[in-house]
Amino acid sequence: MEKPSQDTPWIRLVTPHISQPSLKDNTADIDRLIRGLRKRLDVNGVTVAFSQVNDLARSLKEHHYDVCALVYEDGGAWQVADLFPIGDHPSIYGLAVDLGTSTVVVRLVELQEGETKDETTFLNPQIQLGPDILSRIHFAAQDGGLAQLQNLLLNRLNQEIEELIKRHDLTSPLIAGMAVAGNTTMTHLFLGLDPYGICREPYIPIINRPGLLKAGDLGLGINKEAPVLVFPNVGSYFGGDLISGILASGMTHQREIAFLVDVGTNAEVIIGNQDWLMGCAGAAGPALEGGVASMGMMAGPGVIDKVVIDPETLQFRVRTIEGGPPVGICGSGLIDLVAQLFLAGMIDLRGKFVRAKCGERLIEEEGIPHLVVVSAEESGTGKALTLSQPDIDALIRSKAAMYTILTTIANTVGIPLNSIERFYVAGTFGSYIDPASAITIGMIPDLPLEAYMPLGNTSLKGAVMGLVSARAREEAFRIRDQVTYLELNVNQEFMNLFSAAKFLPHTDRTLFPSVK
């Protein structure tokens, strides 16, 4: 008899010992199956959903009671999801999903060993109905809008799942579970829940803890009875993707106080350790992601991700992804560029172009100063790639917002910002940011560079953990309950901090001793 350890998978394929029916043992089919599973799992709570009774009984008889059972644990009881003939020795799989507003990532995982088998990434097709969270919430309020948003996503997701199934020569019943981490709005849209309250004071979602659903109830193209773990949220602006990210960071197992920061349109910040967690989210604007600048674009071939300016010659060296001629700049490249411009004296501490230094690179378009970063001859588009004064201003507002949020949350818990020992940067985008450049522009505190650790897609990593481990799944809900959400009321103090942070790197240079 196997004692379930805390780390046992919560989705399992087990082989119960089911005795053959006889006149001496007239226990009914379903009760016989439950009895066998109780013995095998050494637990009392084994349940079968009524909707499955006929199918499972048929399968039991068809395979002469020689079956293995797909089971999953929910609220302390094991739920029977499916039966397979014992001779097939099947492996079961799960899908971890990072449900982003822009990008969705799906990872295929073998469930017994927890091994990653494949991964696929696609644009969230809801973009065609609304580019951002707010526009989708508005679209959902239209007649049939919510269903349309949900279906777009589910259909696309199902296409990708079908592809994965084909590619690995599987069948949909073998996809036995799913874990989904997304922000609160994406989660509501995925579940077909009205997101109306999310963007209106007092910002109340429909649900914080969706818990386990059935794949069939959502129309997902995997085993109909497979459990779908939806990561819980703390509120409208603190979603399951962050809970998943905290889980993945491991910060809740450490004594040191750490920051976990997801840099994006929203600056999402968590501070804490094994004993406590505080989180907040505030609008940073899309500038940090390169989304505002006219030359800004998402990372891809030909996109500038690193810039170096020689302080003597003022020559620009740019690195592009895959090395081709430059076509635009991504967020990390933009941060580099502005940091280098500042260090070279080509912009001043307010971020304004210094004409004397910029020289011929500075041009005017429609009366607005632009700096030529890549000339038309060198560019991959045939046109010069330029950075305008408003582009810089937007970036500075965004970095100031980020720094102010970090300062505010650190002040709230009474921890000096510069004493933080670990600074985890979440998100694929975050991984590309050069911390030195981010410090130079005063976006993040002036910590030793080794304090900064990019973690990649923590939302996806946490989803995988929740999918394969009972302990991790439990921890996700514990994390949710532990997070104190700091409401960033934009008061006078916040505005003062924000104003002081709107300089490069800051009005208070003592905060950034390393920037020279």
Residues that bind its own copies (CB under 8 A): 21-32, 45, 47, 50-51, 53-54, 57-58, 61, 75, 77, 191-194, 197, 201-211, 213, 217, 233, 235-236, 485, 487, 489
Residues 6+ apart with CB under 8 A from 55: none
Report the alpha-carbon distance of residue 301 to residue 304 in Å, rounded. Answer: 9
Report the alpha-carbon distance of residue 18 to residue 79 in Å, rounded. Answer: 17
Find the distance separating the first CA and the last CA of the chain, reported in whole Å. 66
CB of 63 to its own copies, least distance (A): 15
| Residue 117 or 139 with smaller CB distance to its own copies | 139
| Residue 205 or 369 with smaller CB distance to its own copies | 205
CB of 232 to its own copies, least distance (A): 9
CB of 50 to its own copies, least distance (A): 5
| Residue 26 or 313 with smaller CB distance to its own copies | 26
CB of 46 to its own copies, least distance (A): 12
Going by the DSSP 8-state scheme, the letter that residue 265 receives in this structure is S
CB of 213 to its own copies, least distance (A): 5
| Residue 281 or 337 with smaller CB distance to its own copies | 281
| Residue 31 or 365 with smaller CB distance to its own copies | 31
| Residue 30 or 349 with smaller CB distance to its own copies | 30
Compute how many other C-beta atoms are within 10 angstroms of the C-beta atom of residue 317: 10
- 3-state percent helix, strand, coil for the chain, nearest multiple of 5: 40, 25, 35
* Spatial contact of 71 and 80, defined as CB atoms under 8 Å apart: yes
Report the alpha-carbon distance of residue 234 to residue 261 in Å, rounded. Answer: 16
| Residue 191 or 441 with smaller CB distance to its own copies | 191
CB of 340 to its own copies, least distance (A): 41
DSSP string, 456-513: E-HHHHHHHHHHH-HHHHHHHHHHHHHEEE------HHHHHHHHHHSSSS-S-GGG-T
Task: Please say whether the dihedral angle defined by the alpha carbons of residues 465, 466, 470 and 471, taken in this order, is positive or negative.
Answer: positive
Q: Going by DSSP bridges, is the β-strand pair 67-74/77-85 parallel, antiparallel, or unpaired?
A: antiparallel
Q: What are phi and psi of 7, to 5 degrees?
A: -100, 10
Report the alpha-carbon distance of residue 237 to residue 399 in Å, rounded. Answer: 19
Compute how many other C-beta atoms are within 10 angstroms of the C-beta atom of residue 237: 25
Q: Going by DSSP bridges, is the β-strand pair 175-182/227-230 parallel, antiparallel, or unpaired?
A: parallel
CB of 51 to its own copies, least distance (A): 7
Query: What is the token pair recorded at 207?
Result: 């649900």
CB of 236 to its own copies, least distance (A): 7
| Residue 244 or 332 with smaller CB distance to its own copies | 244
Q: What are phi and psi of 381, to 5 degrees?
A: -105, -10
| Residue 14 or 57 with smaller CB distance to its own copies | 57
| Residue 95 or 193 with smaller CB distance to its own copies | 193
Query: What is the token pair recorded at 39?
Result: 């013995």
Compute how many other C-beta atoms are within 10 angstroms of the C-beta atom of residue 363: 14
Report the alpha-carbon distance of residue 512 to residue 290 in Å, rounded. Answer: 24
**DSSP SS3 for 294:** coil
CB of 337 to its own copies, least distance (A): 38
| Residue 287 or 409 with smaller CB distance to its own copies | 409
| Residue 207 or 314 with smaller CB distance to its own copies | 207
Where would I find the H helices in 9-129? 29-41, 53-62
| Residue 1 or 23 with smaller CB distance to its own copies | 23
N residues, the chain = 516
CB of 59 to its own copies, least distance (A): 12
Find where tokens 């602006």 sit: 237
Beta-carbon-side half-sphere exposure of residue 166 (alpha carbons within 13 Å): 6
CB of 493 to its own copies, least distance (A): 17
CB of 244 to its own copies, least distance (A): 18
Compute how many other C-beta atoms are within 10 angstroms of the C-beta atom of residue 375: 13
CB of 412 to its own copies, least distance (A): 15
Query: What is the token pair recorded at 172?
Result: 């949909």
